[in-house]
Chains A and B, each alone.
Chain A
């Protein structure tokens, strides 16, 4: 038995597999190092970093997770989530107009945004089905176009064709929506989800680790799969991670560091966890397998009788709806809606984040999204201060993070194109035609 396990360990952790792991995850590994250096040189207090990071993660992660399904369906990184975000903002504006606040207001936003996002998603998907192979650039341009329409509706049609009399929303001359809208006035939407339930982060982590450990032990005994060496290793690895989390949490809780008081918005976290679960459960269904097949090879999917266009439409509609919801979660945390600006950078930043986590144009997982968001925001938090401390100039840190956000997207697209042409060449030479 022990020998078996040793062999398995050797098989999975041989120099060559480790090397491949290092190459495959070079981007996240590099940025983990950069982030750690940034944290060190910024000299920011731990409680500030943890608290800010936690807020930013819960605020943004949902949007980033919305990117995964289109990647699986072979549509690449969906820059069209900007359009979903617009649907979310339309809903927020409506709910603001009705003056409904709190959790009911939040749920109403979700309810109103869903059908709008479905429609927008369908239209985006139709466009992408007409431009197969250029989905990313078409979704990006569709986003720019939609932004124009969005501005036209909100700046010109509101108050003229759409009769709205609302001093808080509409500009003083009665036409057009205001530039910034405070979500806490006239029905408070600010923190309408986050503040439902907040618990200290490390207590929650400790509890979660204990529950996970118990669940694993139960699972191990019920399924009795333990006979395979590889699954023992997997169990062992998971158990180690849980133990590590548990120990760290207890260490933090028993220390006198102010970090132990950092609070986690439980409901928001559960919503995000729900989306993670959705993303993995959908893959276990027939629909998920169809999405994967279409993503791998549209031609084979088609001749096997899968309705390729419809499947792609579903992927984009799902992504757009999640983007709308994600934007609502984002806005309720920020508390101020910049009517013409809040959605503009959403796609770029979300995509940069997921790429930092090690995703690519053709592969993305929940884990990569989570890791990516953590890295991306750590970089955002620490780089101005680190730049200031190292170079005596905060601006350099700013440059660096802008450079990272766009640079990583550029590199990912370049890598994808390169792999595609290399793959194409390989295919051509191995499969002799006719």
Chain B
């Protein structure tokens, strides 16, 4: 049985700077098989594919261990070009198409058919050969016909519907001679449902021709619709390999999400009787135009003194909510803070209304990397509340001493590890940078704290400290906290309620103790559908 395997990856391990991201992963795809690779963001899917394609990011960080076999032969893939030569193709999630080129030109990028001419013979250079447009067009035609696409091969790509672009990507891969394995990286993420159905039909057609297909996705329904076998990754580990017939959406959801959870927020005092409690924020029909994280109409109440978690997969819109409330991206709808209407799209207004924000983009939006810790802590308050300022008639000057005293107090309170309050934030570790961000937010003395991805890119010890800090702020100061995170475990460990966002809307609200499969189904956007079907 192993002999017909196109691709075998055995005992793959990979570490980035001592941090293991893949642990002992094995995977095998047979000719004509559609194999789904399932997992949350950060489960290790991309890293595994980077290894398969020999991306520079793998080799510049010390390579990997384990072996990759193609048709039962050990292969060494050192660059994407090697992968291409071996017959491994990839249909990218973000299209690798040149809009001003025709379909043919895009299909044939750097694989143009050429005929020798007088000059190329003289200089013995392949590069000076003439392009054979007729041959290229007929190849492109053939590839498009294989996929059942009637579109003219000389049409420019610019302006085509997204579904077509996807098919052109596929046409490019199948036009490559000797294609053995085709990887689809979340191919349906940008497609409408009808387009997705077409795509899956096309994928099945390709598999029937004997090409091995590796299908990366987190849409559970599609997996069952298309795949023969399913491999599930979680936190860099292989959780399970299932045959399609032996599994269900619910089991897959459970496998994808499930893990041990330590609930830190044990008081439970905040859980009961939500109806009578005061509302800190009321969100009505909020839409945020954040590219890649669009929010498409959300109604949500946040109660005073609770920690509300916002979870969901990347790209579904969870990040957009906090950014929308802060006015960082264009938004419409209604937001009430303590019953008062908040003017949207006005960051200063949001800050004045007592909302502080710790951005998910710590190094970009969150910090002035080349400024000192103390200045970073004071800067927003200084701008918004005119604190830390000395006045001399028309002129204002920063009150250096006041800023420093305040910063030193916070450095002590939050345990920021640094050489002093004048150290540049660029030099701090991720966890300490995050604490500086939180310190700045606290300096504003906010009523509501919005925290996005507070533990992204920081090590495990520091994660715990940051979460403990948030919990402490909530318990001791009664601060309302809205925490957005891709890491469900984190949300479940400190939040009172968890909102799961899918496709720009609220899929559901769960208590942290809810079952894994419920979270899994909600994140995959299948909860409402199943709820209707099975009456769960």
Starting from the known contacts A433-B292, A433-B315, 7 additional A-B residue pairs (CB-CB under 8 Å) come to A293-B109, A296-B99, A300-B97, A303-B96, A305-B81, A432-B291, A432-B292
Q: Which residue of B lies closest to A288 (CB)?
A: B131
Indicate whether B208 reaches chain A with its CB closer than 8 angstroms: no
Of A296, A429, A434, the residue contacting B100 (CB under 8 A) is A296
- B-contact 0/1 string along A244-262, CB 8 Å cutoff: 0000000000000000000
Chain A interface residue count, Cβ-Cβ cutoff 8 angstroms: 25
Of B97, B190, B289, the residue contacting A432 (CB under 8 A) is B190
A428-B110 in contact (CB<8A): no
In the complex, what's the smallest C-beta–C-beta distance from A113 to chain B, in angstroms? 21
Interchain residue pairs A-B with the least CB separation, the first 8 = A304-B110, A434-B315, A433-B292, A428-B291, A287-B127, A305-B81, A296-B98, A434-B314
Sampled A-B contacts (28; CB under 8 Å)? A284-B130, A285-B117, A285-B127, A285-B128, A285-B129, A286-B127, A287-B128, A289-B131, A290-B127, A292-B101, A293-B109, A296-B99, A297-B98, A300-B98, A301-B109, A303-B80, A304-B110, A429-B291, A430-B162, A431-B94, A431-B95, A432-B292, A433-B94, A433-B292, A434-B41, A434-B189, A434-B292, A434-B313
**A-chain residues with CB within 8 Å of residue B129 when the two chains form the complex:** 285-286
**B-chain residues with CB within 8 Å of residue A287 when the two chains form the complex:** 127-128
Give bound CA distance, A292 to B98, whole Å. 10
B84-A284 in contact (CB<8A): no
Which of the listed residues A284, A285, A428, A430 has the most CB atoms from chain B within 10 Å of its own CB?
A285
**A-chain residues with CB within 8 Å of residue B529 when the two chains form the complex:** none
**A-chain residues with CB within 8 Å of residue B314 when the two chains form the complex:** 434
Indicate whether A413 reaches chain B with its CB closer than 8 angstroms: no
Indicate whether A5 reaches chain B with its CB closer than 8 angstroms: no
**B-chain residues with CB within 8 Å of residue A290 when the two chains form the complex:** 110, 127
A window 388-434: CB within 8 A of B? 428-434
In the complex, what's the smallest C-beta–C-beta distance from A429 to chain B, in angstroms? 5
A289-B84 in contact (CB<8A): no
**B-chain residues with CB within 8 Å of residue A284 when the two chains form the complex:** 130-131
A286-B128 in contact (CB<8A): yes
Which of the listed residues A297, A433, A434 has the most CB atoms from chain B within 10 Å of its own CB?
A434
A300-B96 in contact (CB<8A): yes
Give bound CA distance, A285 to B313, whole Å. 46
Q: Which residue of A lies closest to B96 (CB)?
A: A300
**B-chain residues with CB within 8 Å of residue A137 when the two chains form the complex:** none
**B-chain residues with CB within 8 Å of residue A301 when the two chains form the complex:** 109-110
B126-A286 in contact (CB<8A): yes
Indicate whether B112 reaches chain A with its CB closer than 8 angstroms: yes
Majority-rule SS of B interface residues: loop
In the complex, what's the smallest C-beta–C-beta distance from B377 to chain A, in angstroms? 32
In the complex, what's the smallest C-beta–C-beta distance from A296 to chain B, in angstroms? 4
Indicate whether B237 reaches chain A with its CB closer than 8 angstroms: no
Q: Which residue of A lies closest to B111 (CB)?
A: A304
B window 98-114: CB within 8 A of A? 98-101, 105, 109-112, 114
In the complex, what's the smallest C-beta–C-beta distance from B426 to chain A, in angstroms? 23
A293-B291 in contact (CB<8A): no
B window 111-135: CB within 8 A of A? 111-112, 114, 117, 120, 126-131
In the complex, what's the smallest C-beta–C-beta distance from A397 to chain B, in angstroms? 40
**B-chain residues with CB within 8 Å of residue A29 when the two chains form the complex:** none
Indicate whether A306 reaches chain B with its CB closer than 8 angstroms: yes
**B-chain residues with CB within 8 Å of residue A430 when the two chains form the complex:** 162
Indicate whether B282 reaches chain A with its CB closer than 8 angstroms: no
**B-chain residues with CB within 8 Å of residue A433 when the two chains form the complex:** 94, 291-292, 315
**B-chain residues with CB within 8 Å of residue A305 when the two chains form the complex:** 80-81, 84, 110
Give bound CA distance, A285 to B116, whole Å. 10
Of A285, A432, A434, the residue contacting B114 (CB under 8 A) is A285
A289-B98 in contact (CB<8A): no
A289-B93 in contact (CB<8A): no
Give bound CA distance, A431 to B169, whole Å. 15
In the complex, what's the smallest C-beta–C-beta distance from B535 to chain A, in angstroms? 32
**A-chain residues with CB within 8 Å of residue B110 when the two chains form the complex:** 290, 293, 301, 304-306
Indicate whether B197 reaches chain A with its CB closer than 8 angstroms: no
Indicate whether B346 reaches chain A with its CB closer than 8 angstroms: no
Q: Which residue of B lies closest to A428 (CB)?
A: B291
**A-chain residues with CB within 8 Å of residue B228 when the two chains form the complex:** none
**A-chain residues with CB within 8 Å of residue B105 when the two chains form the complex:** 289
Give bound CA distance, A428 to B112, whole Å. 30
In the complex, what's the smallest C-beta–C-beta distance from B20 to chain A, in angstroms? 23
Indicate whether B186 reaches chain A with its CB closer than 8 angstroms: yes
Which of the listed residues B127, B129, B130, B314 has the most CB atoms from chain A within 10 Å of its own CB?
B127
**A-chain residues with CB within 8 Å of residue B84 when the two chains form the complex:** 305
**B-chain residues with CB within 8 Å of residue A304 when the two chains form the complex:** 96, 109-111
**A-chain residues with CB within 8 Å of residue B190 when the two chains form the complex:** 431-432
**B-chain residues with CB within 8 Å of residue A299 when the two chains form the complex:** 96
**A-chain residues with CB within 8 Å of residue B114 when the two chains form the complex:** 285-286
In the complex, what's the smallest C-beta–C-beta distance from B102 to chain A, in angstroms? 11
**B-chain residues with CB within 8 Å of residue A293 when the two chains form the complex:** 98, 101, 109-110
In the complex, what's the smallest C-beta–C-beta distance from A42 to chain B, in angstroms? 41
- A-contact 0/1 string along B180-203, CB 8 Å cutoff: 000000100110000000000000
**A-chain residues with CB within 8 Å of residue B120 when the two chains form the complex:** 285
**B-chain residues with CB within 8 Å of residue A306 when the two chains form the complex:** 110
A window 271-325: CB within 8 A of B? 284-290, 292-293, 296-297, 299-301, 303-306
**A-chain residues with CB within 8 Å of residue B93 when the two chains form the complex:** 434
Give bound CA distance, A432 to B289, whole Å. 12
Give bound CA distance, A90 to B287, whole Å. 65
**B-chain residues with CB within 8 Å of residue A286 when the two chains form the complex:** 112, 114, 126-129, 131
**B-chain residues with CB within 8 Å of residue A429 when the two chains form the complex:** 289, 291
Q: Which residue of A lies closest to B82 (CB)?
A: A305
In the complex, what's the smallest C-beta–C-beta distance from A337 to chain B, in angstroms? 34
In the complex, what's the smallest C-beta–C-beta distance from A419 to chain B, in angstroms? 13
Give bound CA distance, A286 to B114, whole Å. 7
